Amino acid sequence: MFSIGQMALVTMISHLIFIYITWVAIQSLNVDPLIRKGKIVEARILIIFVTIFIGTNVSRFVLDILNASQNLIYLF
């Protein structure tokens, strides 16, 4: 099993990887028609927050699935 420090490091790296993947995916979307003139900075901040939200939730899901699969040995 991982120690607390190792698990924290794996979690942080996982979050950063999935945030990056989400950022790349969101950059492929055309959000220009949704942005009002003069509100570009606010739209970019919103995109950053949405990226962090989606990336960390996907990372948590993957880490939870991995943790649950490791705990399956205790079922039998």
Give the angle subtended at the CA of 22 by the CAs of 16 and 26, to the nearest 5°: 145
Q: Looking at the predicted structure, is the pLDDT value of residue 1 above 60?
A: no
Say which residue, 38 or 65, is predicted with more confidence. Answer: 65
pTM for the whole structure = 0.84
User: Which pLDDT value is given to residue 66?
Assistant: 92
Angle subtended by helix axes 4-27 and 40-71, to nearest 10: 140
Q: What percent of the chain has pLDDT over 70?
A: 97
pLDDT tens digits, 4-36: 889 899 999 999 999 999 999 999 988 878 788
Q: Contact, 19 vs 56, CB < 8 A?
A: yes
